[in-house]
Amino acid sequence: MDHLDEFLENPWVNGILGLLAVLVLIILVVLALIYIERKFLARIQMRLGPMRTGPYGLLQSLADAIKLLAKEDLRPARADRWVFELAPYAVFVPGFLAFVAIPFTRNWAVSFLELGLFYVVAVTGLSFVGLLMAGWASDNKYALLGGMRAAAQLISYEIPLVLALVAVSMVAGTLNLREMVEAQGRVPLVVWQPLAFFIFMAAALSELERQPFDIPTAESEVVGGPYIEYSGIRWSMFFLTSYANLFLYSLLGAAVFLGGWDWFLGRDAGPWLQALWMAGKTTFLILVFMWARGTFPRLRIDQLMSLCWKVLLPLAFLQIFLSGLVLVHGWPDWALLLTSGAGLLAAAYIVWAAVRPRPLAVREAVASGSVA
Amino acid sequence: MAVEHDLETMEIPVNMGPQHPSTHGVFRMVLKVDGERVVELVPHIGYLHRGAEKLCENMDYRQGIGIHDRTEYLAPFHAELALVIAVEKLMGLEVPERAEQIRIIMAELNRITSHMMFVGAFSADAGVFGTAFTYAFREREYIQDIFEEVTGDRTMYGYFRPGGLAWDVPDDFVERVRAVLEHTRQGIDDIDNLLTKNEVFMARTRGIGAMSAEEAIDWGLSGPMLRACGVRHDLRKAQPYCIYDRFDFDVPVGQYGDVYDRYLVRLEEMRQSVRIVEQALEGLRDGPIMPKKMRRRLRTPPGEIYQGVEAPRGEYGVYIVSDGTDKPYRMKIRSACFANLMGLRDMVVGHFVADAVVILGSIDMVLGEVDR
Question: pTM for the complete prediction?
Answer: 0.85
Residue range A125-136: mean pLDDT, rounded:
87
Higher pLDDT, A365 or B161: B161
Q: Which residue of B14, B125, B131 is in closest CB contact with A45?
A: B131
Statement: residue B92 has pLDDT above 80 = yes
Confidence of residue B82 (pLDDT cuts 50, 70, 90): very high
The CA distance from A371 to A360, in Å, is 16
Q: Chain A, 353-372: which have a CB under 8 Å from a chain B CB?
A: 354-355, 360, 363-364, 366-371
Mean pLDDT of the residues in chain B = 87
Predicted confidence at residue B111, as pLDDT, reads 93
Would you call A296 an interface residue with chain B, using a CB distance cutoff of 8 Å?
Answer: yes
Would you call A71 an interface residue with chain B, using a CB distance cutoff of 8 Å?
Answer: no
Higher pLDDT, A265 or B209: B209
Higher pLDDT, A191 or B169: B169
Q: Which residue of A142, A297, A370 is in closest CB contact with B123?
A: A297
Across the interface, whether the CB atoms of A301 and B354 are under 8 A apart is answered yes
Confidence of residue B3 (pLDDT cuts 50, 70, 90): low
Enumerate the domain spans of chain A. 1-70, 74-368
- CA distances (Å), origin A68, targets A77, A137, A239, B220: 21, 22, 11, 49
Confidence of residue A286 (pLDDT cuts 50, 70, 90): very high
Q: Say what the alpha-carbon torsion angle A319, A323, A328, A333 is, to the nearest 10 degrees.
A: 160
Distance of CA B262 to the CA centre of its chain: 13
Q: Which residue of A223, A364, A366 is in closest CB contact with B21?
A: A223
B154 backbone dihedrals φ, ψ, rounded to 5°: -85, -30
Q: Which residue of B124, B257, B258 is in closest CB contact with A220?
A: B124
Residue range B29-37: mean pLDDT, rounded:
86
Predicted confidence at residue A212, as pLDDT, reads 83
B-chain residues near A44 (CB < 8 A)? 131
Query: In terms of DSSP bridges, do strands B160-161 and B164-165 run parallel, antiparallel, or are they unpaired?
Result: antiparallel
- CA–CA min distance B166, chain A (Å): 36
Predicted confidence at residue A359, as pLDDT, reads 42
Statement: residue A364 has pLDDT above 70 = no
Interface-testing mutation among A220, A295, A362, with chain B (most B C-beta atoms within 10 A): A220
Predicted confidence at residue B118, as pLDDT, reads 92
Statement: residue A363 has pLDDT above 50 = no
Q: Which region, left, alpha or beta, applies to residue B8 given φ > 0 means left and ψ of -120 to 50 means alpha? A: beta
Across the interface, whether the CB atoms of A300 and B355 are under 8 A apart is answered yes
Contact predicate B30/B15, CB 8 Å: yes
Q: Tell me the percentage of chain A whose pLDDT exceeds 90.
A: 6
For residue B308, the cross-strand partners are: B317
Across the interface, whether the CB atoms of A220 and B208 are under 8 A apart is answered no
Q: Tell me: the pLDDT tens digits for B112-167?
A: 999 999 999 998 888 887 888 899 998 999 999 999 999 988 888 889 988 888 88
Interface-testing mutation among A47, A139, A300, with chain B (most B C-beta atoms within 10 A): A300
Mean pLDDT of the residues in chain A = 83
**CATH architecture group of domain B52-343:** Orthogonal Bundle (1.10)
- CA distances (Å), origin B328, targets A325, B105, B198: 85, 28, 50
Please measure the distance between the N-terminal and C-terminal CA atoms of chain A and give it in whole angstroms.
Answer: 70
Name the nearest CA neighbour of B335 among B360, B304, B366. Answer: B366
Q: Which residue of A222, A351, A370 is in closest CB contact with B350?
A: A370
Q: Tell me: the pLDDT tens digits for B293-350?
A: 887 888 888 889 999 999 999 899 999 999 888 888 999 999 888 988 888 888 888 8
- CA–CA min distance A294, chain B (Å): 6
Distance of CA A325 to the CA centre of its chain: 29
The 10 Å CB-count burial string (b at 16+, else e) for B18-33 is bebebbbebbbbebeb
Predicted confidence at residue A357, as pLDDT, reads 56
| Burial degree of B345 (CB within 10 A; 0-12, 13-18, 19+) | middle
B-chain residues near A212 (CB < 8 A)? 127, 200
The CA distance from A41 to A50, in Å, is 11
A-chain residues near B33 (CB < 8 A)? 145
Confidence of residue B4 (pLDDT cuts 50, 70, 90): low
Confidence of residue A369 (pLDDT cuts 50, 70, 90): very low
The CA distance from A21 to A23, in Å, is 5
Statement: residue B273 has pLDDT above 60 = yes
Query: Does residue B72 sit in helix, strand or coil?
Result: coil
> DSSP letters along A176-245, please?
-HHHHHHTTSSS-HHHH-HHHHHHHHHHHHHHTT-TTS--TT-TTTTTTGGGTT--HHHHHHHHHHHHHH
